[in-house]
Amino acid sequence: MRIATWNVERLRHKRDLAEIIGTCNQAKADILVLTETDTRVKPDYPFAYHTPLLTELRPDYYKPTENRVSIYTRYPLICQHQTYDAYTALCVELETERGPLLVYGTIMGIYGNRHDNFKQDLPKQIRDFMRLSAGGKNLCIAGDYNLSISDNYYYTTEGRKLVLDCFNQIGVKILTADRVWCVDHIALSESFGFGAAPLIQEWNEDKRLSDHKGIVVDL
């Protein structure tokens, strides 16, 4: 199984749209979570799920094609779960070859980790994680965490501690935690059985197509 995530920076590089879509397809992920995305980004997947268009919130600010989170997958849907904010976090339960998996695509702090929004929204997301993982359900949390884990690239001490404490409590491991200069992460319930050393690759390391690197985990 391959799981990938990428923040496409509100499609600011729309002149490179075909290359962005091609890059998404080249990842060959079974589950791809895009953040700060746009409905014009349409990778080749049989199933796709999206947060609502942001013009519903602020038509004066967002382009009519923008949304915050999209999940593309080769797995069929079991059901969709409610999140604390339908515009910022999306949770779908998928039927995989390893059994049901809840995929929670998110942006932790839409204005970065220094803004009040991050401090207000992160505890609400943590409550989502606690609720959704209850009863031993397997959970994948992927997207823009606005936190580096292994270095001082971009983080807050409080934010990092809240996330790690929650994940330790519910048995979720950040598979991408040791990547440097990385704020986009893929975390997975340890009970899902991903092995000791998943293979991790990155793309867009020169930040040409977006101000974020893409990252993919092979389980």
Q: What is the CATH number of the domain that holds 181?
A: 3.60.10.10
- Please give the helix or strand (H or E) that residue 165 lies within, else none: helix 157-170
CB atoms within 10 A of CB 79: 10
> Does residue 52 have a pLDDT over 90?
yes
CA angle, 38 as apex, 37 and 43 as ends, to 5°?
A: 85
pLDDT confidence band for 108 (50 / 70 / 90)? very high
> What domain count does the chain have?
1
- Give the pLDDT of residue 194: 75
Mean pLDDT for the chain?
A: 96
Report the pLDDT value the prediction gives residue 193, as an integer from 0 to 100: 80
Q: Note the pTM of the prediction, 2 decimals.
A: 0.97
Does position 16 have pLDDT exceeding 80, yes or no?
yes
CA contacts within 13 A on the Cβ side of 191: 16
* Domain span holding position 71: 2-218
Task: Quick: pLDDT tens for 115-163.
Answer: 999 999 999 999 999 999 999 999 999 999 999 999 999 999 999 999 9
The confidence band for 79, taking pLDDT boundaries of 50, 70 and 90, is very high
In Å, what is the CA distance from 7 to each residue of 90, 161, 166, 209? Answer: 15, 23, 23, 10
Q: Which amino acid is at 147?
A: L
**162-210 per-position pLDDT tens digit:** 999 999 999 999 999 999 999 999 999 999 987 777 899 999 999 999 9
Which distant-in-sequence residues (6+ apart) come within 8 Å of 83 by Cβ? 89, 90, 91, 104, 106, 125, 128
pLDDT in tens, 26-48: 999 999 999 999 999 999 999 99
Structure tokens at 176: 């991408």
| pLDDT for residue 86 is more than 80 | yes
Strands (E), the chain: 2-7, 31-38, 47-50, 66-73, 77-81, 89-96, 99-107, 139-144, 172-174, 184-189, 199-203, 214-218
**What percentage of the chain exceeds 70 in pLDDT?**
100
Token representation of residue 153 = 């690239």
* Identity of the residue numbered 166: C
- pLDDT value of residue 197: 79
- What integer is the mean pLDDT of 53-78? 97
